[in-house]
Amino acid sequence: MAEAETKSIDNASIKMIDKAATDGANTAFDRAEAMRPCPIGVVGSCCKHCGMGPCRVPLPKGKEETPEGKQKRRGICGATAETIAARNFIRMIAGGAAAHSDHGRGVAELFLAVAKGEAPGYEIKDEQKLLQLALDWDVEIGERSNQEIAIDIGEKALAEFGRQEGELLFLRRAPLKRQELWRREGVAPRGIDREVVEIMHRTHIGVDQDYQNLLKQGVRTALADGWGGSMIATELQDILFGTPAPVLGRVNLGVLKSDEVNLIIHGHDPLLSEMIVVAAQDVKMIELAKSKGAGGINIAGMCCTANEILMRHGVPLAGNFLQQELALVTGAVEAMVVDIQCIMQSLPDIAQCYHTKIITTSPKAKIPGAIHIEFDEHNAMESAKAIVRTAIENFPNRGKNIDIPEEQADLVAGFSHETINYLLGGIYRASYRPLNDNIINGRIRGLAGVVGCNNPRVKHDDIHVTMIKELIKNDVLVLQTGCSAMAAAKAGLMTPEAAAKYAGEGLASVCETVGIPPVLHLGSCVDNSRILMAATAVVKEGGLGDDISDLPVAGAAPEWMSEKAISIGQYFVGSGVFTVFGVNWPTLGSDEVTKFLFKDFEAMYGGMWAFEPDPIKAAHLMIDHIDKKRKALGIDKARERVLFDMVMRRELEAV
Ligand code: XCC
């Protein structure tokens, strides 16, 4: 097997990994090979929170947790291995929750500016969702205009970040039993910023030194992400840009065009990219492109910005996290414009091997070697046009060393939880009833959320695709976001035809009746909040228990790498979902902390963590959990709902 084939299952990526080697471009695949992970840090046993350390407290040889061994496993301040592992773990949650939530804050700020008429070019696109949110948040509707209502909503949304007391408003959306559990366990989040700050305080030297108490704050902060910052981002983006509905898209590096200006939008924030999509359709821009010898302007997405723009406009996806460098290696990208999160610092270096311009746009995310064109939301179209123009003007600089892989796949995306409602129940009677019925009758065994990143420590896309195929083969309907969704789409799992090809008989029959793929794309990483809402809708529909933890559902991030993934996993666990991660697990340095997260959490939250790098084994952990829940609900034996006709009724009466 050629070396590149050991690094990815995706042919387009394999070709570009080879080309990068020929071109002398050093990628994450090369760097991962050259640098082994630190064995002490990877299991959470290194503390660098003060100047006395860093202190390293690896497990003693043979891993015996003897009293003597334990005594030796302390930092200079006396912190135990348990405290150190828990501190590291919840600081990851703080980082992840901060990233999602600061994104949410940016959306809320723009939302308020739009409501006040201070952000020309943007408008409220989904009035129905605006009014629904007004009802949820007790904002008066009456005879007021959308603008007036939106100003109140924008102010309330922004206040959620700095809230000092009480509870986040979106917690009310959760099943009542879950809300009570959060209050009982003391993890109902107050303000989003407050919970993140409290983690930073408690993990400072000499503050909270009880690992269970530290982990509790981790749960509270993660819930502030899922039911707070992320949900605010998703909801307000939907109101501003439209709630996604099924849309046909294409994915993989083959979406780049040899005769057009290729502009890739990369990162997480749709505020600017929404405008870039519009700017690229401007007749003057297209004329300018033609004057430079190009046939047109081709916009393609990367990472979660891509998911956002795909879900609402069908803009093609160039690829997921580990393809960001490989896209440049094609030699056909005029500009890559980046906003926030998951952007590799190596991009400007790789771009030097070709003609690509890397453009940063956020004052929060600059990269040496990139051009900075700051995005001004009050003048968004100007920023967008400046970026598109920069890409066009770079077209004549394209070199001869161009190779665009032909690989691309079709997919259907755009499954917001509202859309699932309409698809299943019909436009006039939107309802989750058919989904619940098919779970109860066993055609659908359960639901799995498979999400998260790529990680060059494992074979690119392989773990996602292998796990998802195993799940759908066993009649588990898969809900997806993030880079995982793109892995499945590239493998052809997101078309309705995939049901007959890959899904078990029961799941395939439901997908074919409704006309949906067995793997549903719900959007970007902040859109994991859509999965929370879908799970809540299933609970509220009835017949499957009265809390998310009663449902036959499970979650996974099999190729995770970012702190955001840990925060997402933790809010799923805190919401009652069994969640399994692959690659590595950051608390393995402490058996006690790991056992607490993997076992004791179940009694507290109804959801718990697991670690299993093998995708087939991980899928079966999820299926076993789903079966356990089916048994508890008394639906473990396949049962068809029988509609009685008159003959059957008479027979019944005669008995
Ligand atoms: Fe980043 Fe969202 Fe992970 Fe992909 S999945 S590598 S976090 S882009 Ni969010």
pLDDT at 384: 95
Q: Any alpha helices (H) in 395-459, and if so which ranges?
A: 417-425, 433-440
483 lines ligand 1 (CB under 6 A): yes
Q: What is the pLDDT of residues 149-198, one digit of tens each?
A: 999 999 999 999 999 999 999 999 999 999 999 999 999 999 999 999 99
Token pair belonging to 44: 């959470």
562 lines ligand 1 (CB under 6 A): yes
CA 470 to chain centre: 21
Give the confidence band of 58 by pLDDT, cuts at 50, 70, 90: confident
Cα-to-centroid distance, 406 and ligand 1 (Å): 25
User: Which atom number of ligand 1 is nearest to the Cα of residue 342?
Assistant: 1
pLDDT at 63: 64
Token pair belonging to 357: 């311009």
| Cα 529 to Cα 61, 228, 231, 250, 380, distances in angstroms | 42, 9, 5, 24, 27
Q: Give yes or no for residue 648 having a pLDDT over 90.
A: no
pLDDT at 194: 98
pLDDT at 257: 98
Calpha distance 126→563 (Å, rounded):
32
- 606 conformational bin, left if phi > 0, alpha if psi -120 to 50, beta if neither: left
Residues in the chain: 655
pLDDT at 344: 98
| Angle subtended at Cα 99 by Cα 306 and Cα 112, rounded to the nearest 5 degrees | 80
Q: Any alpha helices (H) in 251-405, and if so which ranges?
A: 270-279, 283-291, 303-313, 324-329, 347-352, 380-394
Q: Going by CA atoms, what residue is nearest to atom 6 of ligand 1? A: 453
Cα-to-centroid distance, 322 and ligand 1 (Å): 10
Q: Give yes or no for residue 64 having a pLDDT over 70.
A: no
pTM for this predicted structure: 0.95
Pocket test for ligand 1, best of 93, 564, 567 (most atoms within 8 A of CB): 564
Q: What is the pLDDT of residues 210-253, one digit of tens each?
A: 999 999 999 999 999 999 999 999 999 999 999 999 999 999 99
Q: Give yes or no for residue 65 having a pLDDT over 80.
A: no
Q: What is the pLDDT of residues 589-616, one digit of tens each?
A: 999 999 999 999 999 999 999 999 999 9
Give the confidence band of 650 by pLDDT, cuts at 50, 70, 90: confident
User: Which atom number of ligand 1 is nearest to the Cα of residue 525?
Assistant: 9
Q: Going by CA atoms, what residue is nearest to atom 2 of ligand 1? A: 304
Query: Under a CB-based contact definition with an 8 Å cutoff, are residues 387 and 305 in contact?
Result: no
Dihedral angle, C-alpha 383, 384, 387, 393, nearest 10 °: -120
| Cα 392 to Cα 109, 208, 285, 408, 497, distances in angstroms | 31, 54, 8, 24, 38
342 lines ligand 1 (CB under 6 A): yes
Arithmetic mean of pLDDT, 299-317: 95
Q: Give yes or no for residue 497 having a pLDDT over 80.
A: yes
Cα-to-centroid distance, 305 and ligand 1 (Å): 10
Percent of the chain predicted with pLDDT > 90: 90
pLDDT at 429: 65
304 lines ligand 1 (CB under 6 A): yes
Q: What is the pLDDT of residues 69-114, one digit of tens each?
A: 667 789 999 999 999 999 999 999 999 999 999 999 999 999 999 9
> Which of 485, 110, 453, 97 lies closest to 272 in space, CA to CA?
110
Token pair belonging to 520: 């549903």
Q: Give yes or no for residue 655 having a pLDDT over 60.
A: no
Calpha distance 14→405 (Å, rounded):
10
Q: Give yes or no for residue 381 having a pLDDT over 90.
A: yes
The β-bridge relationship of strands 46-47 and 55-56 is antiparallel
pLDDT at 62: 66
pLDDT at 2: 79
545 lines ligand 1 (CB under 6 A): no
291-297: Cβ within 8 A, 24+ apart: 292/261, 292/392, 292/393, 292/395, 292/396, 293/395, 293/396, 294/259, 294/260, 294/261, 294/392, 294/395, 295/257, 295/259, 295/260, 296/257, 296/260, 296/261, 297/260, 297/261, 297/263, 297/388, 297/391, 297/392
Q: Helix 192-202 and helix 81-115: axis angle, to 10°?
A: 160
Arithmetic mean of pLDDT, 105-126: 95
> Which of 334, 618, 128, 519 lies closest to 511 in space, CA to CA?
519
Lowest average pLDDT, out of 57-66, 125-134, 159-168, 196-205, goes to 57-66
pLDDT at 623: 98
Q: What's the N-to-C CA distance of the chain in angstroms?
A: 69
Rg of the chain, C-alpha, whole Å: 25
> Which of 188, 169, 192 lies closest to 180 in space, CA to CA?
188
Q: What is the pLDDT of residues 192-217, one digit of tens each?
A: 999 999 999 999 999 999 999 999 99
460 lines ligand 1 (CB under 6 A): no
Calpha distance 577→555 (Å, rounded):
7
Pocket test for ligand 1, best of 268, 562, 568 (most atoms within 8 A of CB): 562
pLDDT at 647: 75
Cα-to-centroid distance, 304 and ligand 1 (Å): 6
Percent of the chain predicted with pLDDT > 70: 95
525 lines ligand 1 (CB under 6 A): yes
Q: What is the pLDDT of residues 411-435, one digit of tens each?
A: 999 998 888 877 776 656 678 888 9
Q: Give yes or no for residue 338 having a pLDDT over 80.
A: yes
How many H-runs (helices) and E-runs (strands) does the chain carry? Answer: 28, 16
Q: Tell me the pLDDT of the chain averaged across its residues.
A: 94
